[in-house]
Amino acid sequence: MELERCNSISTVSTLSMITLQPTKKQRKNKGWKRALSLDDIQEVPQSSAAPRIHYQMKPPSKTKRMKKYMILFSVVLLFVVLSTVLAGYVGTKKVVDDIPSIVEKQVEKLPGVESLKISLSNISENQDDFNQDLHDFKNEMILIIEQHFKRLENAKEYDLELIRNETKKTNDFLLEQFMNNTDLLSWKDDFKQIMYNLIHRMYCVDNCTGIQDSNYQSCSTCNGFVSCSGGILTDRRPCAFNNGSPLLWDDHRKTCELHSNTCDPSYIHFKTMGHSEKLQSQ
């Protein structure tokens, strides 16, 4: 145990001063006090005035020692907290969430923790044990953190595969929700209408300028066609009926067919008629 130096304060009283007592005659004289001079005051010889020495003992202070231990303990605790936070930022969420509970369990199992509590209660008598416990505690914490870093490195590939599986499940769920909450029939009809109108506008002819003489898809009807001859556009009669169903001009085959690849009256909107022309196939 470190011995505290005894600080002693010594005080020496000043020499005693003896005042000569007046005689009866002097006391009768009312002015004896004024006549009293410094010559009447005698100093006691130094040999007869023995100095009085007072010793005041200052007890050793435990406050500084306790502050020292508490600061050391705070540094170790701060090291533990920072190490745990650092490990949390490096790993993935699943591994990081597991670190605090594992560290807490490992710390509870450390033999140095119990010894640390005992040392704190008897800190003035067990300083060497306290220092050793702190050293053991620090080494145990470093070992735990190193083990967690190794776990993080080994878990990277597993976590990536887990993320891919979770992403696939999420995409499947979103697709299923989209299919269940969307009117696919209406969506298909809208898509077909857009596609058939685009195809029809690609093949129909409403001006014969610069076009080779031939028969072409009409831009105003599906069951008729137009002819270009010498740059002049001529509307041809509608296609005939087949068993009561109107035939449709197919510009690919250049003939009237029951079904046309270039014009479907169920989805084509004709501007020249001011409304949608929809010829029933029946």
Torsion sign, CA atoms 145, 146, 151, 152:
positive
**pLDDT, tens only, 8-63:** 444 444 444 445 556 666 666 655 555 555 455 454 454 444 455 544 555 556 67
DSSP element (H, E) containing 260:
none
**pLDDT, tens only, 181-209:** 655 566 677 778 888 888 888 889 999 99
pLDDT higher than threshold 60 for residue 76: yes
Q: To the nearest 10°, the Cα dihedral for 20, 24, 30, 32?
A: -20
